[in-house]
Structure 1
Amino acid sequence: MALAACGSDNNSSSSTSSTSSSSTSTTTTTTATTGAYDSALAFDKSNYTTINVTIDGVKTPVRWYKEVCYVAKPIAAAATQSGLMGTTTISNTACGYQSMNIFVPESVASSQDAAIYFAVNNAGWMSSYITASVADGGTFNSSTSNVGAALKAGYVYIDVATRGRGMTAADGTYAGKAPAAVVDAKAAIRYLRLNDSVMPGNANHIVVNGTSGGGGLSSIIGASGNSTDYLSYLAAIGAAGVTSDGATSTLRDDVLAINAYCPITDLGNADLAYEWMYNILSTRSTVGSYPNPTGSSSLMAKFVAYQAGLGLKTSSGTTLDATTMLAAIKAEVIRSAETYLAAGGTIPNYGETFTFDASSASVVSSYVNDWITIDNSTKKVTALDMEKYLKFVATQKVLKNTPAFDQTGLTITASSGESNMFGTTAQVYSNFTEYSWDNNDVAGDGIGYLDTGYSWTQYSALSTTPLVKQIKLINPMAYIGNASTAPYWYVRHGTRDRDTAFPVSLNLSRALAADSKVSDLNYRLAWNQPHAGNYDVPEAMAWIAKTLNAATAKGL
């Protein structure tokens, strides 16, 4: 079995990240024909229930393969779990975080060619308990529902559950620590590859869809295809295709395409980007959201060296560093507006009032346009004031505290961020960045210089700490150019989204553009969209259809 990336060549490109300067190996062919756990992971083609849904007024029968456990050694979960929406009780404690619901339109039940729409649902990188986006009697509009559109197109639709931050195991440990979500998603992909000959659908045509933390998860799945870095973790949960010691693999876990929205990613450096973005033109000060000026200044300053170290280029070929970043973002906002205008959208003139229904944010909002000037006769942007634009973004939703993502253990923030994604399974959380580690001021939490006596520089150098490895294993910037990158990418980040800084998605796009294995990069800031996803279903689905046609034409 050849183990090259789906549709990609085997040429390597230069590193696009200072964190990926060393080569990252990918899975290689072994003499074994099966993995240690493959016999326990056979797909039962007959074990389904037929349900009926209505798509655009048409009754559509669908086969539902319910809660298929994709690993042989699932981590038992506690019955009570905490998440973004509070505490909940789960019923499937045995494999509810490592299962998938598979929905197959009856029209393609015997097809080995149907694409697989692989949906990850990890809001905020939290654990994602098994869910069913398709229910008997459900009604879908394919112009607004990605689920309905995927089923109508004849794709196999899969809801994938994974562990993630906050997940508590039955033994009381925290089993969702990084890179658990990535490892689980890869295990699910390997299950599909193992059973490809008997399952409906084509496991070489997997399209991964996700929003926010799910967008970040989608991005690392697409970037790290076939990397051997994950094999020991895959072996620990009994994933398909791996030997019991995690030394080798007989299966691939690369995918064809990524459909990611507002990806929260590059978490090890996201605080730097956030403070730079909202301080470079004094946005925090202007909107009165400046809770930690000293921290903001420190993080902002470190962004300069970080950005320079990535070695990225703008679309015009100039260096993308801290001196050119603002202009690059401005160009993307202008492109977003002009794309929207060209598609028939309207933008109020300078001085007029914008009124829009931010349905994904459940709020109707209006504001006076004081930052963008449009020539409606040519449908072009003639001026854009970035200082006022960033103020507008920051007034759509209150800016995050400083630091934005690694907050726990700093009394000045009084919030948490993604800190509970890191550390050992015995730790509730761990700071994972230099600033937060060195400034942790909560005595007795066992984290930071105050409790350990180690500075971040000293602690991160210890062989016993999992933090450096955890940060890398969830960061696509560490793998693009060094693994079997997905060849097709569709990435959107809303122009009203303040949840993660614009440099994060822009850097992702420029790293992908530099990877020779990427055939098609469709990146854009989505006009007038907040932190949300799947708001452009017809456009995204048209891109997926085009991608599948291109892949088929290439023999992928």
Structure 2
Amino acid sequence: MKVIPTACTAALLAGTAMSSVAQGVYDDALRLDPNSYETLTVTVDGEPMAVRRYEAVYVGNPVAMSATQPARSMGPGGSPASADGQELADLLTYQKMAIYVPEASIEDQSTAMIFAVNNAGWFASELRTSVETGGEYVSTSDTDKVGAALGAGYVFVDVGTRGRGIVAADGTAAGKAPAAIVDAKAAIRFLRLNDDVLPGSAERIVITGTSGGGGLSTAVAASGNASDYFPYLAEIGAAGIDADGASSLNDDVFATIAYCPITSLGYADMAYEWLYQAQRDEQLTGVSLEASQTLRSQYPSYLESLGLVLDDGTPLTADNMTDLLMQIVTQEIQDHIDEGGSVPALGEMFEFTSRGQTVEVENTWLSVVDGQIVPFEIQDFLTFVTQTSALKSVPAFDRTANSGNEGVDGENTLFGPAAQEYSNFTPFGWNMNEVAGDGSGADDTGLKWNEFVETKEGQAIAAQVKLTDPQAFLQGNADSAPYWYIRHGMIDRDTSFAVELALYRAVAGTDGVKDVNFTLPWMTPHSGNYDVQEAYGWLASVLSDAE
């Protein structure tokens, strides 16, 4: 499976500019028949509602998939698990979309489009069916985003995308980075191409997802219209890409609602070890401790290289990152108290729900006296977080084949050539690879990372890392989304708080961003769509402000 078509690459290297008049090679074939829909009858808040359902393959040259797909274990919001050898009813479900339009919005050309991705863990996501005949939805629920969208009259879009874990018909890995982002952009382009015949406005697309889907959402929101993706879009026949690789359509979005985004994967290991170094020093020995110490030492210079600043213009550095974390955690606690929430006494139990189970963890760090928060230490808070859920292995993300980690783990199957199962994608992971013959690492290539990235193969992996990272586009892209709603739970240890705070500050420092709504919700683990009323209230507000 080719990754970049030669003709398009040559055109881009020659400096081909975005054309305002060029028509995409597949645009005629991708035009939607406005009369080709089925009408579903559902209930919203107990009242009947008619919803039109359109379905379309959103690319002109979809990737042919294997008739069988390997089993895989998925997290919440991800692709349904499939058993080894299971036949797929429709091999195009990875590059197909369903568009749901409330009948009351048929004549509304300005309503928002909720663009839902489901790529937990950056895995592939088959097309889902969020709206079904006979389905019951509640617009006032804090967990029903479909009900909130339909109740508000928004168009709701389900999108199937490639991602890691799927196999093409030729036996290669069809979902290597940046496939998920490229597919999402192609689907957005399809909506823009057909904006004149579809209800709603493709200028008001709101991309939303959780975990890997949150990472995908932030990458798309950050990189609107970036030409880096044009060759990949050309390969799959995306709308608006002409024969020379130039673009006549946009793929930027109006807003994102992103939950616990797993992002900045090339640098997340450093941030993880830096944040939890005190806890690691207590828990680890030997090679794992040495790995943690090496990674954490690299984080301060990386953070400084981002050039982020606080609201008062002070540079965000490793010296004040935990101060920012303390400030946001403290504000969230105070908001919880002000809203009538309770805090267990020291020695009593916090109770919360994680992955559908009730969990209790002793309060060892937080005390409230007469409604006032007693000052606490950030390290005590971080220790509490690690008690709600054990920390990941070292490294946390580029985890395969180094530091004693056995088996294919972490995000490694997202990177590398399509003919190879996995690859290390960071300097540490690459240089410390311990499995001879896996095709990855200095042990197989004879090249350390700094030498490897000078090769064609190394540059390809470096490009994969860049194209999945919103930090690579924020602060320099005039077409990043203007509105951002980002949530990462207060007790979520699936990535470093430092990654999420750096994302928040990068968004806040990007020209053209008009609103960034970020917090660490009270006693919330790794999850999403738990505050739908707040999120969709925010969306209604920014939509109104944009009018």
Normalising by structure 2, report the TM-score. 0.92
Deviation at 1:243, TM superposition (A): 1.0
Whether 1:444 aligns to 2:440 is no
1:162-207 per-residue CA deviation (whole Å, 9 max, x = no partner) reads 1111221011011111111111000000000000000111000011
CA distance in 2, matches of 1:373, 1:81: 51
Deviation at 1:291, TM superposition (A): 7.2
Where relative contact order (Cα < 8 A, 6+ residues apart) is larger, the structure is 1
1:31-73 per-residue CA deviation (whole Å, 9 max, x = no partner) reads 534211100101121221211222221222211123x110000
CA distance in 1, matches of 2:438, 2:248: 42
Find the residue that maps to 1:507 and give its secondary structure. Answer: helix
CA distance in 2, matches of 1:64, 1:188: 16
Whether 1:402 aligns to 2:394 is yes
Residue 369 of structure 1 corresponds to which residue in structure 2? 363
2:484 to 476, 483, 489: 489
CA distance in 1, matches of 2:287, 2:431: 18
Residue 9 of structure 1 corresponds to which residue in structure 2? none
Whether 1:422 aligns to 2:420 is no
Q: Does structure 2 retain, via aligned residues, the 8 Å contact 1:216–1:264?
A: yes
The 1:399–1:302 alpha-carbon spacing in structure 2 relative to 1, beyond 3 Å, is same
Deviation at 1:26, TM superposition (A): 12
What is the CA RMSD across the aligned residues, in angstroms? 2.0
Q: Does structure 1 retain, via aligned residues, the 8 Å contact 2:23–2:248?
A: yes
Amino acid at match of 2:540: A
Deviation at 1:127, TM superposition (A): 0.7
Deviation at 1:318, TM superposition (A): 2.2
The 1:501–1:290 alpha-carbon spacing in structure 2 relative to 1, beyond 3 Å, is farther
Whether 1:74 aligns to 2:62 is yes
Aligned ranges for residues 530-549 of structure 1 at < 5 Å?
A: 530-549=525-544
Amino acid at match of 1:538: Q
Residue 14 of structure 1 corresponds to which residue in structure 2? none
Q: Does structure 2 retain, via aligned residues, the 8 Å contact 1:108–1:114?
A: yes
The 1:355–1:30 alpha-carbon spacing in structure 2 relative to 1, beyond 3 Å, is closer
Whether 1:474 aligns to 2:468 is yes
Whether 1:115 aligns to 2:112 is yes
Whether 1:173 aligns to 2:172 is yes
1:57 to 39, 46, 63: 46
2:301 to 279, 302, 305: 305
Residue 315 of structure 1 corresponds to which residue in structure 2? 311
The 1:534–1:392 alpha-carbon spacing in structure 2 relative to 1, beyond 3 Å, is same
Q: Does structure 1 retain, via aligned residues, the 8 Å contact 2:291–2:403?
A: no
Amino acid at match of 2:288: N
CA distance in 1, matches of 2:214, 2:358: 25
Amino acid at match of 1:405: F
Whether 1:271 aligns to 2:273 is no
Residue 77 of structure 2 corresponds to which residue in structure 1? none
Residue 34 of structure 1 corresponds to which residue in structure 2? 23
Residue 505 of structure 1 corresponds to which residue in structure 2? 500
Whether 1:391 aligns to 2:383 is yes
Deviation at 1:146, TM superposition (A): 0.7
Tell me whether 485-494 or 463-472 shows the greater mean CA deviation: 463-472
The 1:130–1:291 alpha-carbon spacing in structure 2 relative to 1, beyond 3 Å, is farther
Tell me whether 82-91 or 406-415 shows the greater mean CA deviation: 82-91
Structure 1 stretches of at least 4 aligned residues deviating more than 4 Å after TM superposition: 24-29, 287-291
Structure 2 unpaired stretches of 5+: 1-12, 75-80
1:48-104 per-residue CA deviation (whole Å, 9 max, x = no partner) reads 1211222221222211123x1100000011122233245443535542111111111
Residue 206 of structure 1 corresponds to which residue in structure 2? 205
Amino acid at match of 2:381: Y
Find the residue that maps to 2:290 and give its secondary structure. Answer: helix
Whether 1:128 aligns to 2:125 is yes
Find the residue that maps to 1:258 and give its secondary structure. Answer: strand
Q: Does structure 2 retain, via aligned residues, the 8 Å contact 1:124–1:214?
A: yes
Residue 337 of structure 1 corresponds to which residue in structure 2? 333
Amino acid at match of 1:210: G
The 1:105–1:291 alpha-carbon spacing in structure 2 relative to 1, beyond 3 Å, is farther
Residue 243 of structure 1 corresponds to which residue in structure 2? 242
Find the residue that maps to 1:38 and give its secondary structure. Answer: coil
Q: Does structure 1 retain, via aligned residues, the 8 Å contact 2:287–2:403?
A: no
Find the residue that maps to 1:102 and give its secondary structure. Answer: strand
1:262-298 per-residue CA deviation (whole Å, 9 max, x = no partner) reads 000000000000111111xx21244569871111010
Q: Does structure 2 retain, via aligned residues, the 8 Å contact 1:399–1:498?
A: yes
Amino acid at match of 1:456: W
Amino acid at match of 1:122: N
Tell me whether 527-536 or 338-347 shows the greater mean CA deviation: 338-347
CA distance in 1, matches of 2:313, 2:403: 43
Tell me whether 391-400 or 366-375 shows the greater mean CA deviation: 366-375
Deviation at 1:414, TM superposition (A): 2.3
1:88-129 per-residue CA deviation (whole Å, 9 max, x = no partner) reads 435355421111111111111232122100001000001111
The 1:25–1:199 alpha-carbon spacing in structure 2 relative to 1, beyond 3 Å, is farther
Counting matched residue pairs gives 521
Whether 1:347 aligns to 2:343 is yes
Q: Does structure 2 retain, via aligned residues, the 8 Å contact 1:190–1:241?
A: yes
Find the residue that maps to 2:367 and give its secondary structure. Answer: strand
CA distance in 1, matches of 2:328, 2:505: 12
Structure 1 unpaired stretches of 5+: 1-23
The 1:182–1:27 alpha-carbon spacing in structure 2 relative to 1, beyond 3 Å, is farther
CA distance in 1, matches of 2:253, 2:446: 43
Tell me whether 37-46 or 380-389 shows the greater mean CA deviation: 380-389
Q: Does structure 1 retain, via aligned residues, the 8 Å contact 2:361–2:388?
A: no
CA distance in 2, matches of 1:265, 1:189: 21
1:494-515 per-residue CA deviation (whole Å, 9 max, x = no partner) reads 0110100001110001011111
CA distance in 2, matches of 1:199, 1:96: 21
Q: Does structure 1 retain, via aligned residues, the 8 Å contact 2:129–2:158?
A: yes
CA distance in 1, matches of 2:17, 2:204: 21
Whether 1:226 aligns to 2:220 is no
1:135-171 per-residue CA deviation (whole Å, 9 max, x = no partner) reads 1111122213011111111011111111111221011
Find the residue that maps to 2:404 and give its secondary structure. Answer: coil
Q: Does structure 1 retain, via aligned residues, the 8 Å contact 2:95–2:161?
A: yes
Q: Does structure 2 retain, via aligned residues, the 8 Å contact 1:27–1:252?
A: no
Q: Does structure 1 retain, via aligned residues, the 8 Å contact 2:280–2:292?
A: no
The 1:311–1:38 alpha-carbon spacing in structure 2 relative to 1, beyond 3 Å, is same
Amino acid at match of 1:265: T
Q: Does structure 2 retain, via aligned residues, the 8 Å contact 1:291–1:401?
A: no
